[in-house]
Structures are given as structure tokens and as C-alpha cells.
Amino acid sequence: MIIVGICGGTSSGKSTLAKRIKAGLSARCIILNQDCYYFDQAGKPMEERAKVNYDSPEIFDHDLLFEDVSRLREGQPITTKGYDFPHHCRADSDALIEPPDVLIIEGIHAFYDERLLELMDIKVYMRVDTDICLLRRIDRDMKKRGRSLESIANQYRETVKPMYDKYISKYIDRADFAVMRGGKNLMAEEAITAYIEKKLSQLAEGEPKSTDE
């Protein structure tokens, strides 16, 4: 199995790039979204749930994500994880995910857990201007998550920007590829896809995976 990590700021194009890479591969590929591994907030009143810092690395269940990735890597299926964003609670299901040829892990803190980093064959960082990311986030959260402009702006000032400056902007130092302009960068998409296909070919032929290319 080839494991690809895609990291970057909110609305930087991580999901878009992951989907485009998946569509361009000849092998079976699945995408694990780190957003599905938020800790459950169902035990708190709704007012308190809304105040939680959802941009901190500590809000994610890194142990569960690492466990799922490890199981897939060992050839074992996992159950599907999900998250209900409007209500800030888990929305898992019993649907099984079978081990793929290529596993893509994407999220704002995908490079936070050193254990997960060690499993990744390719690490991609989305380097996009924060102003552009903010505009994309406003559009996404208002349309898909039913949030008001005021709540989005408050969250950006209080948690999104501080967490980006403290953690996310520094993850670029852990990346193998830096992608400019977002998830629709065709040249980057083609280069990464070709790299993955090469690694898959090496695995099929029994060649060792190189880490210095």
C-alpha cells in the first residue's frame, strides 16, 4: 500500500487535490478525511460545543486515526468514521472500508502525529494564501455547514488564524511536495499521480521503495 498525506490550512484545496489524484490513478484508492476523527462533543450543551477550538491538533483523535491507518496497512478492514458538523458530534457507521492500493490522508493536522508521518510514503503540503483560504471557508461553511458569517469570522480570529500560525504553517517543513494555488493545480496533480504510479509499479515488481528521489 502507498500512503499519501495531504496537509495545509483550512480550505486550501486538500480535499479537491485528493479527489483529483484518486480519479487519476489506475489503482484502487480511498481517502481518509482527518475531519472525520474529531472527538465527539455530544456530551456538552450546544452552546459549549460551538466554543470548542476545532482548529487545535488536540481536538482530533490521533490514536484512532493511527489505529485505522495501521489496520489498513496490515490488510484489515476498518469501519467508516464520520462527523456531523452542524451538531458537533460523531456520525460513524458500520460500513466497512477495505484496504486499498493507495490511501490518502488529508487534514489540517495530517502531519502532526509523528507515528502517522512515519507511515506516509509521500507528504504533500498545500501552500495557498490565507486570504484566499478564508474566502473559500466562508463560502463552504455558509453553504454546507449552515453557519453565519459572524460565527465564521469570530472563529477565524479566535482559533483558525492562531492555530495556522502556531502549527499548520510550519508543517511545510515536513513535506516532500509543496502545491501552490490550491487543489486544481494540474501540473502538481499530474506529477504526484505519476510518482504514485511509479511507486505502485515498483511494489508490483518487488523493488524496494526509494525515499531519496
Burial class (CB in 10 A: 0-12, 13-18, 19+), 180: exposed
| Residue-wise pLDDT tens digits, 56-92 | 999 999 999 999 999 999 999 999 999 998 889 999 9
- Residue-level pLDDT at 66: 98
Place of cell 490514536: 63
Residue 6, C-alpha cell as written in the block: 495531504
- Residue-level pLDDT at 190: 93
- Residue-level pLDDT at 213: 44
Class of domain 2-196: alpha beta
Answer yes or no: is pLDDT of 134 > 50.
Answer: yes
For the chain, the helix, strand and coil percentages under 3-state DSSP, each to the nearest 5: 45, 20, 35
- The pTM score is 0.88
More confident position, 13 or 79? 79
Residue spans of the domains in the chain: they are 2-196
More confident position, 124 or 156? 124
Share of the chain above pLDDT 70, in %: 96
More confident position, 40 or 181? 40
